[in-house]
Structure 1
């Protein structure tokens, strides 16, 4: 009798547990397919991307086919397209959790997550994903905003950083040296000329300081870092007293196909970095000190000019030919 009662009690408990699981997410688990598509969206329709962190938020928008920040600064196009490609290709396995406790444990809860990625077309949300704790090499726990099912999939928080600076195009200040036709350093003005159709262009100065020659290699070495220049951070559009631009450490002016650009480098009051202001953009940029210091040294008059070497010609002795002939006659 007691055995029967115990069996009935066990069956009752099992039924209660089964009912609880079914109503708290078990149905969601049963409906999930292994290796299924995690997010279903058309990446060609995405025109807004946001990445929300604990204290920061990245907001990007697509304008005339190009991604840019909310205030109009060019974004890193390949980084954005790379994230969209990755999100569109994500697959998931079996769920690893469906309870409220699981959301917190895997850091994909609505108020506790590593990052939240949202894709939109206009006002329509195309995809909304929470990225949580790491789940192994290049894997993270994730959850779609529309449900409470937690998966592991091949994406990391490094794929969707929450620092806005990491999404900007750090190459916007670079120039192709082939389109640069003139440069000015202090009172020295140089133009790029070609001696012939087949010869490489060289720098030529209309006027050089007395006793000086132009150092072609020195000029090219000094300008080379500008062609590959990258900034570390956009500081905004307002000048600050500690930018050091009242007394720039380097001023250069370039003429290129389509315009002119003046570079002003100032030493920041604190730290080793410099501030750069270019005449054809409104922003002020922070540039790492290790990249600016060599430029300051190499873009200087003493690096661009060489002392002219004047060869002294030894004077030939003056010979009295008539006297020489008399001496020869005596002998």
Structure 2
């Protein structure tokens, strides 16, 4: 075959392949089917109530464009945690049917009295719906059921772990955050007295009541400063101080003095109230926040219990004399 014929044959083959590619029948892309909630638009949701199998429950509501906790004087919710969940609920389709009967609801953990999560939401139209989120048969599949329907479907991009039934799943849990290098002073008052820590000109910490001749345990001070600079909440309670919080007779008060660049010195005071024996947490109020919160015992225990002696560096043990004969 001549070179010219080879070229013509190649062009003909390319044309045939192109025609096959264009005309070959294709299957339609997989469809999500009808939406599980026909009237659902993420932007229309005005409230969410989430429950779990351990009887935890949290309720979120929308105020204007903001999300807040319904039961904590409208404590701010992190909207970046809410919007993705609403979008995932809106995307649930009915193309992956698991069962049409209620016999398997308990086994799939989407029964009205046996579920991993129950999500109750209200729309701006006034319509209310319930979504049960159950077990996960695979890494990207979760059993779900809507309202009073018997049908159970698989959701491909939603899991019960993403939909927490506690406040901390939806809020920013940082209650106090201070840059430690900007903290220039720390005062702690508890039942044993007052400890006054400050930095010298070199930036080293000092304690005003350090016994004469004693050395400061800088590690212990650094640990205390770190705790004062970073406090994480367990639960927001609201703005109203109740008698059981014990904030009028605090276990301790902690005042941090902060100097940031050329800015004036500012202070932040942490009032540590009563201990809740049911969960070993403390009631706490920061002067920088409207809200009273609960924090873990570990977070504030040192402020309540430490004395000046706890910041004295232990003396270096003197080696015992060698009494071995000939030593």
**Aligned match for 1:182, one of 164, 185, 190:** 185
Distance, in Å, in 2 between the alignment partners of 1:119 and 1:267 is 35
Structure 1 equivalent of residue 48 of structure 2:
49
Is the Cα–Cα contact under 8 Å of residues 273 and 286 in structure 1 kept in the other structure? no
Structure 1 equivalent of residue 135 of structure 2:
134
Distance, in Å, in 2 between the alignment partners of 1:181 and 1:46 is 47
**Aligned match for 1:301, one of 303, 308, 311:** 308
Question: 1:273 Cα shift?
Answer: 1.6
148-157 or 235-244: bigger deviation = 235-244
Is the Cα–Cα contact under 8 Å of residues 244 and 267 in structure 1 kept in the other structure? no
Distance, in Å, in 1 between the alignment partners of 2:181 and 2:83 is 29
Is the Cα–Cα contact under 8 Å of residues 263 and 278 in structure 1 kept in the other structure? yes
Name the CA shift for 1:283/1:153 in 2 (closer, same or farther; >3 Å): same
CA RMSD of aligned residues (A): 4.4
Q: 1:107-126, aligned counterparts within 5 Å? A: 108=110, 113-120=115-122, 122-125=124-127
Distance, in Å, in 2 between the alignment partners of 1:176 and 1:119 is 40
Question: 1:151 Cα shift?
Answer: 0.3
Distance, in Å, in 1 between the alignment partners of 2:176 and 2:119 is 29
Distance, in Å, in 2 between the alignment partners of 1:208 and 1:220 is 17
Unaligned runs of at least 5 residues, structure 1: 1-32, 196-200, 308-331
Question: 1:170 Cα shift?
Answer: 2.5
Task: Point out the structure with the larger helix share.
Answer: 1
Structure 2 equivalent of residue 8 of structure 1:
none
Is the Cα–Cα contact under 8 Å of residues 239 and 284 in structure 1 kept in the other structure? no
Question: 1:167 Cα shift?
Answer: 3.6
Aligned partner of residue 175 in structure 2, secondary structure: coil
Q: Does 1:273 align with 2:280?
A: yes
Unaligned runs of at least 5 residues, structure 2: 1-29, 259-264, 315-327
Distance, in Å, in 2 between the alignment partners of 1:194 and 1:85 is 54
Aligned partner of residue 229 in structure 1, secondary structure: strand
Name the CA shift for 1:284/1:213 in 2 (closer, same or farther; >3 Å): same
Distance, in Å, in 2 between the alignment partners of 1:226 and 1:53 is 34
**Aligned match for 1:74, one of 68, 73, 76:** 76
Question: 1:224 Cα shift?
Answer: 0.9
Q: 1:243-282, aligned counterparts within 5 Å? A: 246=249, 248=251, 250-256=252-258, 259-264=267-272, 266-268=274-276, 270=277, 273-280=280-287, 281=289
Name the CA shift for 1:101/1:287 in 2 (closer, same or farther; >3 Å): same
Pairs aligned (count): 266
Distance, in Å, in 2 between the alignment partners of 1:226 and 1:159 is 31
Name the CA shift for 1:221/1:100 in 2 (closer, same or farther; >3 Å): closer
